[in-house]
Amino acid sequence: MSTFQAPKGTYDLIPPDSATYLAVRDAIAAPLRTSGYGYIETPGFEDVNLFARGVGESTDIVTKEMYTLTTKGGSELALRPEGTASVLRAALEANLHKAGNLPVKLWYSGSYYRYERPQKGRYRHFSQVGAEAIGTEDPALDAELIILADQAYRSLGLARFRILLNSLGDKECRPVYREALQAFLRDLDLDEETRRRIEINPLRVLDDKRAEVQKQLTGAPLLRDFLCDACKAYHEEVRELLTEAGVVYEDDEKLVRGLDYYTRTTFEFVHDGLGSQSAVGGGGRYDGLSEMIGGPALPSVGWALGVDRTVLALEAEGIGLDVPAPTSVYAVPLGEEARRVLFGLVTELRKAGVATDFAFGGRGLKGAMKSANRSGARYTVVAGERDLAEGGVQLKDMESGEQEAVALGDLVAVVQARLA
Ligand code: AMP
């Protein structure tokens, strides 16, 4: 060990486990890439006010969890705690919404930072793959995103996840509900901090995890009963489209989520094998966000799925992804001349698309064969002076143990044929 360790609340992705992370990222992105979503990458940090305004001044993310910094030039920045505000900022800055092709559909993959109390499934640095569809109000778009996330999880073999669905209303009906909820909450027996929350963001109180709070919330007014006709019809359409697509979901009237910008459709993917950190992904419609960050009105919808928790969900279900061994052929030279010849062959095999590795460092046969075994390679190519004098190498099948001489000039073709 060195003097240093990974900072608290973080961990390193290390082979062979890191291959699972890559596979999860790819699996989540795959349905997006074939559904018109283009890849976007934004900086790891932004003007701190983008998140303060976008995510919400009263949210935990902004008040407690942001990593903020002042640069030497005096700029106030924050490491990004989430993806949506950045992606929308970038889309507006590049005028993507003016290209006459709405919705602007984008997907992203990257690192996010929140100063949280670390525990299993909750880290200070984590990864998300996300998707945003900007500039269009259409229930089919909300449904599309949920269907694509469902498809991604199913393609990984996950079965024990559930989709929770709710509507948060819009700027017409939500304020009416907000007042009714506040009136109800003010009469409850709650601590100071929660009382403050009632005034700033009462919907978040519904999200309180404490049993003594939840008990008092029975009988709280439900947003469902306050939705305006337009929101009701919109939500009904989303639900019908999901049902027609065969996506199973649960209506959850108490689902509010921790970010201020959501309107209408909100949803969360939860996994039942993860304990307290059960949300593997979530998202929803954010029709007001663009205006909140100084842009035009652009109704939009999106989600972000957590890569770390998706990997934990796979573990919980005992699913091992079929990640191919990174090496198909391992070359073991015996002696200096063989080193030169085999090193050349390794490059040729790689050019031909065969994943190949080489016994570096001039170790003996025994040590090199151990490495060959560990690499997971299906074939080993061994060559010493005698083989080379005969113009060939030994090709060993690591599964059957069989070995045969192959002429130097035939090796690439023979290996390709065997692996096909
Ligand atoms: P949120 O933006 O909070 O809705 O997060 C979306 C998804 O990102 C969650 O469902 C988690 O899978 C993941 N996520 C959020 N915060 C963390 C964290 N601190 N550690 C690990 N994953 C997280």
The stretch 127-155 carries a mean pLDDT of 98
Distance (angstroms) between ligand 1 centre and the Cα of 390 equals 60
Distance (angstroms) between ligand 1 centre and the Cα of 169 equals 23
* Cα–ligand 1 centroid distance for 379 (angstroms): 42
Ligand 1 centroid, distance to 312 Cα (angstroms): 13
| Residue bearing the CA closest to ligand 1, atom 14 | 306
Q: Which residue has the tokens 């900007």?
A: 134
CA of 22 to the centre of ligand 1 (A): 18
Cβ of residue 122 lying under 6 Å from some atom of ligand 1: yes
- Exposed, middle or buried by CB within 10 Å (0-12, 13-18, 19+), for 173? buried
The average confidence (pLDDT) of the chain is 94
Closest protein CA for atom 1 of ligand 1? 282
**116 CA: nearest ligand 1 atom:** 19
Cβ–Cβ under 8 Å, residues 298 and 134: yes
How, if at all, do strands 45-47 and 76-79 pair?
A: antiparallel
Question: Higher pLDDT residue, 205 or 236?
Answer: 236
pLDDT of residue 58: 74
Cβ of 282 closer than 6 Å to ligand 1, yes or no, is yes
Q: Is the CB of 61 within 6 Å of ligand 1?
A: no
386 CA → ligand 1 middle, Å: 59
- Which residues is 164 bridged to in the sheet? 250, 268
Peptide bond into 15 cis (omega under 30): no
Q: Assess contact for 327 and 377: CB atoms under 8 A.
A: yes
Report residue 200's pLDDT band, with 50, 70 and 90 as the boundaries: confident
The confidence band for 363, taking pLDDT boundaries of 50, 70 and 90, is confident
What pLDDT was estimated at residue 259? 65
For residue 226, the model assigns a pLDDT of 94
Of residues 338, 317, 316, the one with CA closest to residue 388: 338
Atom of ligand 1 lying closest to residue 303 CA: 6
| Residue 304 CB less than 6 A away from ligand 1 | yes
Q: Is 164 in the pocket of ligand 1 (CB under 6 A)?
A: no
**Percentage of residues in the chain with pLDDT exceeding 70?**
99
What domains can you pick out in the chain, each with its CATH number? 17-173+227-316 (3.30.930.10), 329-419 (3.40.50.800)
CA 293 / ligand 1 centre spacing (Å): 22
Does residue 208 have a pLDDT over 90?
A: no
Helix (H) or strand (E) holding 160: none
* Ligand 1 pocket check for 82: Cβ under 6 Å: yes
**What are 218-260's pLDDT values in tens digits?**
999 998 999 999 999 999 999 999 999 999 999 998 888 766 6
pLDDT of residue 258: 62
128 CB within 6 A, ligand 1: yes
Whose alpha carbon is nearest atom 16 of ligand 1?
Answer: 122
DSSP state, 254? T
Residue 412 has pLDDT above 70, yes or no: yes
pLDDT tens profile 300-324: 999 999 999 999 999 999 999 988 8
Number of neighbours of residue 106 by Cβ within 10 angstroms: 25
Residue 168 Cα to ligand 1 midpoint, Å, equals 20
